[in-house]
Structure 1
């Protein structure tokens, strides 16, 4: 019955879009900061905790340790085995999520108000008293190894592995954070405990909550959850430059359709031109009907079902990336169209109509992101990590509207560099200019 109630709550929240939220800044009795949106209409709370550092903290030869560790937090803690923990979680109708990323690890929780104390206590147990039993480690290792094996047969993952390896080399960004067969098999229980101590650091935590909870209650929850965790952790990696130059890498893979990942260096999130670049990306290859590349590559020429570009702002580097898949015999033509339009926008710019259409799309789509407590909690944590103020949720569309055509075209000239675009192609492509090739590999 409790699980049915929670499912009903989530379905109601999923169709309740809120264009604005009222964010409170909360400081717990122990001095931990958090953001809160109170919503008392439904007896439900979503909690999000993000610890900066992430899989980039993996030590040499231990790649995949942080990812594996996060997958083990639900696999037994305190006096509970994995089965005991899952039974207790289900009895509370609570939901927990433990995820690992390059620059951070996240812990999310959803629970009903009536079960809040017990749900928080169970989550605390997972965070401060994990067991990392050997049978659980072996079981989750098996799952990770299956994913690694699958990655070798997935053209999209192969493209990403190749592209990032060439772009970042020995930096953690250069390898997949799930590790390799060799590193995963070699990880010990001690390695997992060390990854746990390195990643779940109270001094690097960002917290947000949305739902049926007030500031005082949230402060108590935060202190309850995070007390006992280390206050500081190991040094994070330094900044790293995007290391690829213009050209192409072909990874031979037997498939009738090639997957292409392409890009060059991007822009920092705190750069004054970021919003102009963000709007420019929407015009060039973002979601929506205004996309130049979608129109030129798909609509006019039928070369693909979809092509997209996006800005990637990591803690230690940034990129402007794009992806497309097309028939092997159409690869050369597809790359030519991308390069031509990248160069045209960089030199000629875009029109006022294209800018207006992008603004309409971006400002109209933004409120739809606030369609549930969990989504809002995630957005608020992301804002904190990026150093944005609470009022950003209200002012964001104003930043979009403030971008002028002059801004867009100036930033296009500054950032778009077709000569620097690198294309990683997985397949058996035809028509690729031999002069572009920087490396030819086989999978």
Structure 2
């Protein structure tokens, strides 16, 4: 797949800075996470003097804070002919700000034992900051410069653009990336969801320094901002930081794109590609995160194709028939549209059978539902795995800011497993009939599959 902004940065030697500190911070944070998994998490809503809101989990046992900023809209805010501008801009944010050029910026963070990372996807631009309490003020000032005063120097633009182009060209020979782009186009057409948020070789090659400033202006505004902090910081201290970091942002950014229509129809699309193993991506219309039946669908997916070896798809496609090393399904509730998707890879001579088995299980589950034993196993897995997500200040901060974007209450961290446990067999089987659409299930297969042809 195309490299993410964080993967692009990993190509730079500066990505190895402070790994010792990161390891220590993680070890300390794991202790905190274990405590949080056993006790009720106290999430406080903080409002800065300037009116900026954030969620805070305060803990002073570790002299370390994780700060997470998210801006809704992401790469979907790109101007159509400038696809890739926001993704490229996010990769340039660590290439200097204010009076600091790229190398000076990296040295300043190294001296402060601070770590900032930036990323962009179709729905969000994310900034993750990690800093020690003793260096908080200086670290926050550099972060403020990053947000308010990015340099976008031409040499940095050319260097990061070259890295993005390498990734885009690599994607042209990657079956997974080819399948992803073809599926998105079928699902969403000309909507931003239907195009690559990282742009194309043509659009990225044409982007200018002025385009970076325009992309920055489109994203960074108060009307799409979500913030969380976890660690050694008080509400008053966080409030002051919020105003310092974000108080000068404009009130509004670029207009949000409208909802995306899921245009998938049932059938198969074969994209010829010379490879001994075909990649198959499949999906249908999904279910929104705020739908009352979301938890029932979530449990259903765990039974059908979620992340364990006991799912129906894994048992039928891998264990019983040996057609693949892995097959998975997953709900994708994005901001502007929702899909229900899955993937597998299989030898060219076996992929047609694998596709057939997936279709059969989709149909069988829709018609017959699931068993009480499957329901119990899925609920046990999902509730047991949930506390493991809280494995450090950074992941916790990310979870909290994601909850805000999903419109979830602060109590969700405590109540979530109760919602899973409350799902009944009747709920799951009703949702299976309503959600699963065997006739509307679309497969995109990239390779040279034997016995499979496009049905369009």
- Once the two structures are superposed, what CA deviation does each residue of 1:157-187 show, in whole Å capped at 9, x if it has no partner? 1110111012111111111111011111111
Q: Partner of 2:455 in structure 1?
A: 437
Aligned partner of residue 308 in structure 1, secondary structure: strand
Shift of 1:203: 2.2
Q: Partner of 1:422 in structure 2?
A: 442
CA–CA separation in structure 2 for the residues paired with 1:7 and 1:122 = 23
1:392 maps onto 2:412 in alignment: yes
Q: 2:150 aligns with which of 118, 130, 155?
A: 130
- Once the two structures are superposed, what CA deviation does each residue of 1:241-297 show, in whole Å capped at 9, x if it has no partner? 111200111111111110000000000111111100000000000012431100110
Indicate conservation of the 8 Å contact 2:75/2:123, yes or no: yes
Question: Considering only aligned residues, what root-mean-square deviation do their CA atoms show, in Å?
Answer: 1.3
Gaps of 5+ in 2: 1-16
Please list, as runs of the form range in 1=range in 2, the aligned pairs for 1:309-328 lying within 5 A after superposition. Answer: 309-328=329-348
1:70 maps onto 2:90 in alignment: yes
1:141 maps onto 2:157 in alignment: no
1:8 maps onto 2:24 in alignment: yes
CA–CA separation in structure 2 for the residues paired with 1:308 and 1:346 = 17
Please list, as runs of the form range in 1=range in 2, the aligned pairs for 1:8-407 lying within 5 A after superposition. Answer: 8-14=24-30, 16-17=33-34, 18-19=36-37, 20-407=40-427
CA–CA separation in structure 1 for the residues paired with 2:321 and 2:256 = 46
CA–CA separation in structure 2 for the residues paired with 1:323 and 1:26 = 41
Q: Partner of 1:441 in structure 2?
A: none
CA–CA separation in structure 2 for the residues paired with 1:7 and 1:221 = 26
Indicate conservation of the 8 Å contact 1:49/1:106, yes or no: yes
Indicate conservation of the 8 Å contact 1:251/1:427, yes or no: yes
Shift of 1:6: 4.5
More displaced stretch, 12-21 vs 302-311? 12-21
Deviant stretches of 4+, over 6 Å: none
Shift of 1:12: 2.9
Output the TM-score relative to the length of structure 1.
Answer: 0.96
CA–CA separation in structure 1 for the residues paired with 2:63 and 2:19 = 14
More displaced stretch, 191-200 vs 18-27? 18-27
CA–CA separation in structure 2 for the residues paired with 1:12 and 1:133 = 38
Shift of 1:2: 7.5
Report the CA distance shift for 1:269/1:2 in structure 2 as closer, same or farther (over 3 A).
closer
Shift of 1:228: 1.8
Output the TM-score relative to the length of structure 2.
Answer: 0.94
Report the number of matched residues: 436
- Once the two structures are superposed, what CA deviation does each residue of 1:120-155 show, in whole Å capped at 9, x if it has no partner? 001101110011111111111101100101111111
CA–CA separation in structure 2 for the residues paired with 1:47 and 1:161 = 33
Shift of 1:230: 1.4
Shift of 1:239: 0.7
Report the CA distance shift for 1:3/1:167 in structure 2 as closer, same or farther (over 3 A).
closer
Gaps of 5+ in 1: 439-443
Report the CA distance shift for 1:179/1:345 in structure 2 as closer, same or farther (over 3 A).
same
